A and B are shown apart, each in its own frame.
Chain A
């Protein structure tokens, strides 16, 4: 099948998915602190099924197609799905933050929001939560799980886990991180631009850099190896955002790695269904 045809079919499905948004999807907000409220979309499903929290990628929102479509697919499958949008310091954020914005958010902050959302789920009676993350979101979830080990999280699915290396091959951030620490120690909070993730110019004061640059491939692999809950790493065979050999390194962690051949980083198009199938399969196993 020609790629253009595939794309057209994918669009049709995507449109269909929009049209088929479950009727129970609701926009929920969570005040994180005065003046800062986060938003999420919640689709309540069957009580017996675990709730799914899907976290978007770096600077994205829950409306990101990979996340949103997966959420809808899971909701249709009867799962309660919560797809929050990390505030990233912006109240009621519902758009992706540009790389050039002055980013004041940190991984730590994001974790606190995760805690809040998990608490929110618990408050809604969800005892079991499956965490699914896309891209850097999956990285943050993996490290969150490695750091916090919440008991109601029963499974972790990472989709397109990135190794969080700087965009376009810059690997060693040590010096930069060191410089940022020095700035921070000086009290110099002036933001500066530095490549981070897919951002060529990620503008942030020292602390966000220090925070996000602490996500290293090594830490991710270590976290994967030591993960105590079932996990599934779903990777696109055609994901060009990964470093060379990353999938193999993940596989070597002993975790289950499902590679969807030909899928890109976003697993869109026809691979969307592959992703959904894999996730549903994983969820069934978690049930």
Chain B
């Protein structure tokens, strides 16, 4: 059976019911006991009454015998039996005078022949001696009553058996029995003879013919009534007591308990609310009062604890949502606010700003983490100062910050973004030991209800990435034109990049031949990587956008080196002359990458390995880069400065780093025929300088014969491009490796 806790009210009712049942049971038991006792008593009294009657009859018999004996022995009886001359006088006078025969009885003398000595008109004594049969008595109805005739002989003397005659005593036995009383158990008034007329019997047998009603026992009745009354009173008192106890229990126990329970429940439901004091008035029961006080104390302590916990929780909450480095809100706070904002129906529009420090990894790697942290703190300070008072600055991670502007117009957000940019630009980061200028890229995305901040985040991310691109404004508002950069945040491409880093087998190369000029002989091939992932081919633009965005330069460089090693190990024919590997700026200063290249060269000493360092990579540690380049060259590698003219500090790099070749960016090459003459002239002069400086010059993007001729004319030693790919295919169909 399932058990469940009882409510105290149910328990009270149960107790009341049990109490009432017990009282009813006791009352019934008392009543039945009394009735039983009364019954037994009445039975006893009936038996006593019967014995009483029997005793009365026995006493009557004894009286009759005594009277008869006395009468028989009385000289005067014999006298008048012998000489009845004065019998009537004797019968009516002497007999009464002596009291020998009670007045209630009548006596008559009968001759030996059974005839009465003298008629008795008053009492109508039978003239003939009544026939009593074997007994001494006879019942006979006379004068409307049943009378008993007691017959006895009168002898001449007690010692002589000669019967002089008989004497008859007549009496009303019932009257005599009544006179015998008072009876304790017999209702004398109810006595009556239940015998037919003419019954002959012994007096002793008379009791068998006597019917009667027992006397009521007033004492017993009174006692029973009293007992019943007492029982009722006791039950009533017990009931009153029960009700009183229930009432008392209700006042002292149930109500306080229920109040206490309600208060505890209220506290459970609203643990921090100020519940009304538990029973302003003290409880009457000491234990309950103590319990109440203890509970009140406990609640106070609980409240205090809750307050402390709340305070601590708030502190933790703040700490959990505060960036430890900068003190601004952290990613968790950003996510929570974002979710809250999305659910806020009152917000009809919102602008998301993402701030990212340009080249922060390089700065961190160059100056160390303490300086990096200081730069981050400085950026946070600048942004906080630039933002509006109500704007929250979130540090999403690393060098990325964000702010949400619910309800703001894009123009307002742009102004704020510009202010932020200016603030950063004005801030002196040199105090932290950074010599390079610190800049940020800001991406903005705005939307209307229903606000999808995740989408806005992606868009702002794209905008921010666009802002990072060379030649782009540092503040970019997302528009659909930035959709091409979606791959930056495309999950599939990102996954592919990460997977390719983990599994270089996913990296494939289109080996573009680099031919010597003017012979157009393949010198080596440039490994243009792509990733084959999930049935899709991810091109270099998407790959490197992700690599740079995710700062996976070193990892991807290593993966590329492993892939090149794979292909070299596979003995791809196109790699027979050699292969150039593009290295990222971080890769140049990475000891791992340099070592991997040295090892690659070491494993393929016959293979020409050219390491192309792209100019677009920010190399902040030129000394390290220079030292690494030297190591590569000492290891037998050649180093080429790639995309010369498209990136940062081209001449500075060329001056400081011991490269072997310089590869002019296709944009510069195209200026030879597409740009204005001054641009073409400038390119020509630069080419001449580089050539004069002794560097081998490689022209990229040779897409037609004109360019080819041009570059030849300028003294480029090498060239690559689609035009040359085609020429190579026609002349050396097995020389071009296709991805």
Contact = CB atoms under 8 A, between A and B. Distances in A.
B44 interface: no
Contacts of A90: 75-76, 78-79, 82
A37 interface: yes
A93 B82 CA distance: 12
A101 B76 contact: yes
B264 to A, nearest CB: 105
A127 interface: no
Contacts of B78: 90-93
B297 interface: no
Given A100-B94, A101-B76, A92 B157 contact: yes
A132 to B, nearest CB: 24
B82 A102 contact: no
B569 interface: no
Given A90-B76, A100-B97, A101-B75, A205 B82 contact: no
A234 to B, nearest CB: 29
B156 interface: yes
Contact of A97 (B75, B83, B86, B89): B75
A97 B83 CA distance: 15
Max chain A CB contacts within 10 Å: which of B75, B82, B83, B164?
B75
A213 to B, nearest CB: 19
A35 B82 contact: yes
A104 B80 CA distance: 10
B76 A104 contact: no
B83 A89 contact: yes
Contacts of A8: none
A98 B83 CA distance: 17
Interface string A13-50: 00000000000000000000001110100000000000
A153 B451 CA distance: 179
B85 to A, nearest CB: 7
A77 B356 CA distance: 180
B79 A89 contact: yes
B97 A104 contact: no
B160 A92 contact: yes
B85 A95 contact: no
B94 A101 contact: yes
B212 interface: no
A101 B79 contact: yes
Contacts of B183: none
A95 B158 CA distance: 12
Contacts of A189: 85
A205 B156 CA distance: 24
A190 B89 CA distance: 9
Interface string B131-162: 00000000000000000000000001100100
A91 B82 contact: yes
Contacts of B90: 101-102
Nearest to B87: A102
Contacts of A98: 76, 98
Interface string B71-101: 0000110111011011001100010011000
A3 B76 CA distance: 37
A206 to B, nearest CB: 12
A191 interface: yes
Bin chain B's interface residue count.
10 to 19
Interface string B317-332: 0000000000000000
B72 to A, nearest CB: 12
Nearest to B76: A101
Interface centre among B82, B90, B160, B164 (most CB of A within 10 A): B82
A270 interface: no
Contacts of B89: 102, 190-191
A152 interface: no
Highest count of chain B CB atoms <10 Å: which of A36, A89, A91, A97: A91
Contacts of A191: 86, 89
A191 B85 CA distance: 11
Contact of A91 (B85, B86, B94, B164): B164
Contacts of A93: 75, 78
Name the residue in A90, A98, A189, A205 with the highest tally of chain B Cβ atoms < 10 Å from its Cβ.
A90
Contact of A94 (B79, B80, B86, B157): B157
B269 to A, nearest CB: 114
A194 to B, nearest CB: 15
Contact of A104 (B75, B85, B157): B85
Contacts of A36: 82
A123 to B, nearest CB: 22
A205 B83 CA distance: 14
Contacts of A94: 75, 157
Contacts of A101: 75-76, 79, 90, 94
Contacts of A39: 157
Nearest to A102: B86
Contacts of A95: 75
A104 B164 contact: no
Contacts of B94: 100-102
A91 B76 contact: no
Interface string A162-200: 000000000000000000000000000111000000000
B160 A102 contact: no
Interface string B17-37: 000000000000000000000
A167 B419 CA distance: 174
Q: Which of B86, B94, B156, B164 has the most CB of A within 10 A?
A: B86
B156 A91 contact: yes
A35 B83 CA distance: 9
Interface in B677-710: none
A91 B82 CA distance: 8
B97 to A, nearest CB: 6
A225 B98 CA distance: 43
B554 to A, nearest CB: 163
Interface in A96-139: 97-98, 100-102, 104
Nearest to B160: A92
Nearest to B90: A102
Given A89-B83, A191-B89, A37 B156 contact: yes
A26 to B, nearest CB: 13
Contacts of B76: 90, 97-98, 101-102
Interface in B643-696: none
25 contacts: A36-B82, A89-B79, A89-B82, A89-B83, A90-B75, A90-B78, A90-B82, A91-B78, A91-B156, A91-B164, A92-B78, A92-B156, A93-B78, A97-B76, A98-B76, A100-B98, A101-B75, A101-B79, A101-B90, A101-B94, A102-B86, A102-B89, A104-B85, A190-B89, A191-B86
Interface of B: 75-76, 78-80, 82-83, 85-86, 89-90, 94, 97-98, 156-157, 160, 164
Interface of A: 35-37, 39, 89-95, 97-98, 100-102, 104, 189-191, 205
Given A89-B82, A92-B160, 18 more contacts: A37-B156, A39-B157, A90-B76, A90-B78, A90-B82, A91-B78, A91-B156, A91-B157, A92-B156, A93-B78, A97-B75, A100-B98, A101-B90, A102-B89, A102-B90, A104-B79, A104-B83, A191-B86
Task: State the 6 A-B residue pairs at the shortest beta-carbon distance, nearest first.
Answer: A92-B157, A90-B75, A102-B86, A90-B79, A35-B82, A92-B156
